[in-house]
Structure 1
Amino acid sequence: MSADLPKRDAVTAAFKHAWLAYERDAMGDDEYHPIGKSGSNLTSAGGIGYTVVDSIDTMIIMGLDEEYQRARTWVAEKMSFERDGNFNTFETTIRVLGGLLSAFHLSGDSMYVERAKDLADRIVPAFSTKTGLPLSQVNLAKRIGVPDNDNRGLVSTAEVSTLQLELKYLSLLTDEEVYWEKAEQVMKVIKDARIATGLASIFLNPDDGKFAISPIRLGSRGDSYYEYLLKQYIQTNYTEPVYRDMYDDAMTAVHTHLIKKSEEEGLTYTAEILPERDTQGKITWRMIPKQDHLVCFFGGSLMLGAVTTGTIEHAASVPPRAAELTAQGTRDWISGVELVRTCMETHRTATGLSPEIVHFKTATDHIESAHDWYIKGARPGHTPYDARYILRPETVESLFIAWRLTGDPQYRQWGWEIFEAIEAHCRVASGGYASVLNVDALPVALEDKMETFLMSETLKYLYLLFSDESVLPLSEYVFNTEAHPFPIFHPTRGTGFF
């Protein structure tokens, strides 16, 4: 798996096109608007440098030393968490705390650990609920958790269960168990709340620790719960079997209830299950053939899980041989490969970019589409939210993992096609990249926003896809859900629940 240097260097040039524009127009601001050449912050009290910290480890990995040194100086001298505003607990953890921790690991600079500890100490009060499930928001200056009134005080399953890699790694670095204990308590609550199907609905009640009656899906508010079950098992070098057991249980549930095949082309996809209450107040559940772009992480994740929890011996070949996989491992590998293919099929649009949400045709549908999938509500003169592409990384994340686990050049080819589509339709000439409002309409209309995960995830995974296999090998690293790499380590303490 040698590097494809021209393609790798093209991705590096794209990163510089994005970063230098942000640095020129909005350095230190949380978000960047490349068309208006301006920045914005997530609260009226000011920002905490979301874009800076989310991008630093990509600079290190790409060897962009000059850009890195300027970003490092900003973090050391200008970053402040003394902001009297409400920040999303999950996003702040995966992007900012995760970015600081990975920057430390890759640079060895203890300044990042100091900043990470400062931030984590401000986040920890969000866990002060009856069950230990963290509230959705946190006021960093006041150090208090803030409930999400828009969702009746409920907390997102994915958000509370996607803080563990970050807090456990910080605990290892600081030798302070409070971070580990807060992270692990969440997982104990979720394990105890298991429902009969083995699936997880997308909301939990922080007062009683039970799943709320809410949709079940692998998309938004559900996705990274499943991702971190596997990655927690990997992070601590396979020493915590409780996470393997929870992961295996969840994957069996997903295959039993959510994985479907499309009618004509036989595309593997994941459906959603929606709760509905009838006139007598009885709850029934309805299957919806809908898949978020966010679900496209799941193909690569299943393949990684197949060679992690689904092998007869610990190590598997590249690609794994049939005799090396258990029945479960074979099932997960096949589903993962097919889900990656499905996600690439959703890139068969006018722009070559995938929409935010697709629906799959069923036998009762009367939808005119050249594919087994379609963008709901799309018609001349009307552009639904589902039609947009906001620079998301999930498909290229799966392509990177699939490439590393197989060496199949098809995955690199698909990744290059996506990169070329981004260059053709999202690139802003004066600097930066913008979101596309309708992936199936040319010429494109752009939204003036460059999400931080473009530089943290999308371009990083593309860079790694075209790098040689010695760069952040999967045998030594686990990536958080924002693509910040953490080292696999052997824990100094045992799991607190079983």
Structure 2
Amino acid sequence: MRLHDILIGVLVSCTFSASSQSLPDVSGDNDIHAISRKRAQAVKEAFEFAWHGYHTFAFPNDELLPVNNSYSNSRNGWGATAVDALSTAILMESQDVVTTILEYIPTIDFNVSKGNAPVSLFETTIRYLGGMLSGVDLLDGPYQHLTQSPNDTIALTLQAVNLASKMEFAFDTPTGIPANNLDFKKESFDLSQSTGLAVAGSLDLEWTRLSDLVQVPDFANLTQDAEQYLLYPKYESNTIQPYPGLRGTNIDLSTGEFLDVMGGWGSGDDSYYEYLIKMFVYDPVNFSAYKDEWLKAIHSSASTEIFSHPYSRPDLTFLSNWDAQNAILRSSHLACFAGGNWILGGLVLGNQTLIDLGQNLTESCISTYNATLTGIGPEAWKWEDENLFEDEDEVVDMFIEDKGFNITDPSYDLRPEVLESLYYAYRATGDSKYQDLSWKAFRAINASCRTGSGFSAITNVNAPHGGSFTNFQESFMFAETFKYAWLIQAEDSKVHVGKMGEEQTWVFNTEGHPFKVRNQQ
């Protein structure tokens, strides 16, 4: 009997309690490869469970609300979960899921947006455009056997062109730096709103890949022209700027100037730095300037107080935020992608120091998982010298003394960044401890977040059972969280990040969707 038939049957009978479904403990097996295969299969089954909950109760809307088996449309109602899930379903060779999504995508009408929310250029690019382009590369590449017809990838390509063409007006600003919040009905935006570093700096990979696929340079030119304002930034005169390679966060659409000098490796900034090295991976000849700026950012981060160690846990290293050249000792789960990003740069450039630094960051981020009752890391935390906490509650002091940080936002939104960095660490080192850490983290996520017909974000990772459920299952869990938890165990996957000395044939966008690099076309 097929897995989805079993799942749907027990859902309908209302006798199934998802929260009680623990993943198998396979640590007793002496065959390390057998252990990895069993773990990969368990992650795949969790993915298919979440997919079938979504497909049963929410498809083709954007997200499943798993507690009450309802749905939401936070991404304009185009089926964000379905499009985001495609590349992971392909890698896992989950044929039924792939077929369902391929039949659905050609039916999306990007001219019609559900609700009154604007269209986010950034989110739409990384989720929808990225998901469709990745599907083309995978299904025209090593997973051709999953398609019913060559028309499947043609349809994906046409929809990608339709969507990008619909969003092109975002670049109609005095500078060419794109606006993010778009009114599709009026094809307009508010020019007075600034745009963010991550928004303007995280479009190149998707739009350049689209141009290469359809051999129309216009899409790539739009994003690469806008990128010049980020590679060669301008600030108000007499402003103390961030260290070389680092940036502020908000940019004026009319002048191209940065409006502040505050930044970090987390929300609002993260994927700008991520894409600098990934564009170099995509094409090291034409994007060497991106790599140079990335190296400056790494040097400035690693050689200053931004590379920070909590006073009570000097073995840990977190990347702090900054205000000009002053460190703000705060970090977040989102910033934990940096460990994997630095490791990727080390692999590509043959630089063991970068790999070592990335491992340090990755292992420090997993320490936030080990510190909580659920075994899941929090959304955000801070650290400081001991004087800051003199008047704090004694229990909090003990937590800081022992763990090295204080939780400032205890929620968990099904985020992938720690699993992502563990994957890169494993690819760089081959050390099975990273597989074990990833498996432990995923089991914790399954134990606390699996509920009803899927997985839900939780309110407090340091409370029994994760506090409460928010009743929201993010589409990126399908694109990233499941994918990285599976890939680290799935040695026989046809798509992987290359190890040291190997050619990089694939590069993952910030939503976890793999693209072919240029020299592999």
TM-score (norm 1): 0.86
Choose which of 298, 301, 305 in structure 2 pairs with 1:254: 301
- The match for 2:50 is 18
| Residues 19-51 of structure 1: CA deviation (Å, up to 9, x unaligned) | 1001111101112210121111137xx511111
Q: How does 1:144-223 map to 2 (within 5 A)?
A: 144-147=188-191, 153-193=193-233, 195=241, 197-198=243-244, 199-223=246-270
Aligned residue for 1:468, secondary structure, equals: coil
Choose which of 92, 96, 100 in structure 2 pairs with 1:70: 100
CA contact (8 A) 1:94 1:166 kept: yes
- The match for 1:124 is 168
Please tell me whether residue 334 in structure 1 is matched to residue 366 in structure 2. Answer: no
Q: Which stretch shows the higher mean deviation, 443-452 or 362-371?
A: 362-371
- The match for 1:416 is 439
Deviation at 1:354, TM superposition (A): 0.5
| Residues 92-120 of structure 1: CA deviation (Å, up to 9, x unaligned) | 00000000101111123111000000000
- The match for 1:5 is 37
Please tell me whether residue 87 in structure 1 is matched to residue 119 in structure 2. Answer: yes
Cα distance in 2 for partners of 1:265, 1:77 equals: 54
CA contact (8 A) 1:237 1:489 kept: no
Q: Which stretch shows the higher mean deviation, 390-399 or 194-203?
A: 194-203
- The match for 1:315 is none
CA contact (8 A) 2:64 2:473 kept: yes
Deviation at 1:237, TM superposition (A): 4.3
- The match for 2:63 is 31
Choose which of 181, 187, 202 in structure 2 pairs with 1:137: 181
Aligned residue for 2:345, secondary structure, equals: helix
Choose which of 480, 485, 495 in structure 1 pairs with 2:514: 485
Deviation at 1:288, TM superposition (A): 2.0
Deviation at 1:77, TM superposition (A): 2.7
CA contact (8 A) 1:35 1:448 kept: yes
- The match for 1:467 is 490
Cα distance in 2 for partners of 1:234, 1:145 equals: 33
Count residues with an aligned counterpart: 449
Q: Which stretch shows the higher mean deviation, 257-266 or 29-38?
A: 257-266
Percent of counterpart pairs with the same letter? Answer: 29
- The match for 1:375 is 407
Cα distance in 2 for partners of 1:171, 1:145 equals: 24
Q: CA RMSD in A?
A: 2.0
Deviation at 1:81, TM superposition (A): 3.6
CA contact (8 A) 1:268 1:335 kept: no
**Structure 1 pair 188–2 and aligned structure 2 pair: CA distance change class (3 A):** farther
Whose helix fraction is larger, Structure 1's or Structure 2's?
A: 2
TM-score (norm 2): 0.82
CA contact (8 A) 1:2 1:467 kept: no
Deviation at 1:273, TM superposition (A): 1.9
Please tell me whether residue 399 in structure 1 is matched to residue 422 in structure 2. Answer: yes
Aligned residue for 2:387, secondary structure, equals: coil
| Residues 68-94 of structure 1: CA deviation (Å, up to 9, x unaligned) | 111211112345443385111100000
Aligned residue for 1:291, secondary structure, equals: strand
Choose which of 138, 143, 154 in structure 2 pairs with 1:110: 154
Cα distance in 2 for partners of 1:145, 1:104 equals: 31
- The match for 1:387 is 410
Aligned residue for 1:134, secondary structure, equals: coil
Q: How does 1:275-424 map to 2 (within 5 A)?
A: 286-309=326-349, 311=350, 325=351, 330=353, 332-348=354-370, 349-366=372-389, 367-369=397-399, 370-376=402-408, 386-424=409-447
Quick one: which amino acid aligns to residue 176 of structure 2? Answer: G
**Structure 1 pair 440–417 and aligned structure 2 pair: CA distance change class (3 A):** same
- The match for 1:319 is none
Deviation at 1:368, TM superposition (A): 3.3
Choose which of 222, 226, 234 in structure 1 pairs with 2:281: 234
Aligned residue for 1:92, secondary structure, equals: helix
Quick one: which amino acid aligns to residue 60 of structure 1? Answer: I
Gaps of 5+ in 1: 276-284, 312-324, 377-385, 493-498
Deviation at 1:189, TM superposition (A): 1.1
Aligned residue for 1:307, secondary structure, equals: helix
- The match for 1:280 is none
Cα distance in 1 for partners of 2:137, 2:187 equals: 27
Cα distance in 2 for partners of 1:408, 1:491 equals: 28
CA contact (8 A) 1:272 1:289 kept: yes
Q: How does 1:449-468 map to 2 (within 5 A)?
A: 449-468=472-491
Cα distance in 2 for partners of 1:403, 1:491 equals: 24
CA contact (8 A) 2:252 2:259 kept: yes
Cα distance in 2 for partners of 1:467, 1:237 equals: 28
Please tell me whether residue 268 in structure 1 is matched to residue 298 in structure 2. Answer: no
Quick one: which amino acid aligns to residue 64 of structure 1? Answer: S
Gaps of 5+ in 2: 1-31, 141-152, 235-240, 390-396, 498-503
